[in-house]
Structure 1
Amino acid sequence: MTAPPSALILDFGGVLTTDFWACLRAFEQREGLAPGALVDLVTHDPAGHRLICDLERGAIGQAVFERRVGDRLGVDPAGLLARMAADLRPDKEMLDLAAELRAGGVRVAVLSNSWGSDYFDPYAPWQLDDLADVVVISDRVGLRKPDPQIFTLTVERLGVPAGACVFVDDIAAYLVPAAAFGMRVLHHTDTARTVPALRAAFNP
């Protein structure tokens, strides 16, 4: 019989928060952009995708990202990241489950691709250091998902084997290197499905 896992690694945006992509779509609507303008820029456009990757790795600062993306979208770059994240809200059920599992002895980590922290810190309202034993933010370590090294770093900081970890992310592509590293993985599409799946995993 396989032993239950002893550590939980959670993505931030879209897992501990409300839907990340819905947040970006709301920004597009507020700014008067065509539907998908921002999402397509950072996911499908090569130059735009490179900008978000550089921001997440800390290779460029927030002001540079905002200026270049603002130019591409034709919107005011001042405070752009804060406006992009304005509709993110805590997912209380996921946050409560993380706290409950941690209180029961499960090691908890937050592993997030970041939008930087020069002037705007999207993590501040969540007080992640109180929620988790380990917090790995991409721009602070110079690595981003899906780079396998960021999973290695997170497991090392947790102090448990990869096989003892469950990794939860709303982006399926990020689960692939985690699974290859030996982690159990869970694709988060809906809190109502994720919560019972995690309860079952940690309390078989």
Structure 2
Amino acid sequence: MNNQKITALFLDIGGVLLTDGWNRVARKKAADYFKLDHGVMEDRHHITVETFELGKITLEEYLRRVVFVEHQDFGIQDFKEFMFAQSTGHFEMLSLIAALKKEQHLKIVIVSNESRELNEFRIKNFGLNNLADCFISSSFVRLRKPDTDIFKLALDISQVPAKQIIYIDDQLMFVRLAENFGMNTIHHTDYQSTTTKLASFGLRTINDSHEKR
């Protein structure tokens, strides 16, 4: 176990703080709702997603390549609103990280793969700008996990030694990549197990400490 004091949390958004913004489940729901050919839509998405999440095309450009190649009986704005509505908060996790930041004086750094418009919506709608000190988002920095340069950039910008960081992600591959930089890691699967793992690093909230007595 790392003996150094933890001073920062590096966090993914989708699957940790919020639901995934635009994953295969959301795309299937959209295909069903708008009566689209899901297979065709998926093929177009996978061709386009890297460019989209790197911020090289706008949301409207993405939709014109994936959904509106043919004429549709609904508008782009209708589809955007459906996309945005798929995001919900993991409020226990949001409250936990906010409490740890305040009580433990932690630096919070978001390291995520998200398209610009969806990311900006989620930051504003769920108050992530009040939680995080900075956003190393793929569409902002033009780097995308699993490109390890995004972790290097996060370390450079945060100016926190790797051994003083816990990186939390629901994707095991990205957890392993962060470990290669010497970061402590938590593979997030649910709120309770992550709370327990954080406590093993000495990160407990005041309420949690009282409950343990």
Class of the TM-score when normalised by the shorter of the 2 chains: 0.7 to 0.9
The correspondence for 2:29, drawn from 26, 31, 35, is 26
Instruction: State yes or no: 1:54 paired with 2:69.
Output: no
Superposition deviation, residue 120 in structure 1 = 6.9
1:169 maps to which residue?
169
From the superposition, tell whether residues 36 and 95 of structure 1 become closer, same or farther in structure 2 (CA, over 3 Å): farther
Task: Report the Cα distance in structure 1 between the residues aligned to 2:67 and 2:158, rounded to whole angstroms.
Answer: 38
Moved more, 188-197 or 73-82: 73-82
Moved more, 72-81 or 62-71: 72-81
Question: TM (normalized to structure 1)?
Answer: 0.81
Q: Deviations over 1:23-68 (max 9, x none)?
A: 4443344334577776xx2xxx4x6324111111112221111111
- Structure 2: runs of 5+ lacking an equivalent: 205-213
Task: Report the Cα distance in structure 1 between the residues aligned to 2:26 and 2:199, rounded to whole angstroms.
Answer: 27
Question: TM (normalized to structure 2)?
Answer: 0.78
Instruction: Judge conservation of contact 1:114–1:139 (CA < 8 Å) in 2.
Output: yes
Task: Report the Cα distance in structure 1 between the residues aligned to 2:50 and 2:163, rounded to whole angstroms.
Answer: 28
Instruction: Judge conservation of contact 2:175–2:185 (CA < 8 Å) in 1.
Output: yes
Q: Deviations over 1:140-179 (max 9, x none)?
A: 1111111111111112222211222111112222223212
What is the aligned residue count? 198
Superposition deviation, residue 126 in structure 1 = 1.9
Instruction: Judge conservation of contact 2:100–2:203 (CA < 8 Å) in 1.
Output: no
Instruction: Judge conservation of contact 1:28–1:36 (CA < 8 Å) in 2.
Output: no
Identity, % of aligned positions: 30
- Structure 1: runs of 5+ lacking an equivalent: none
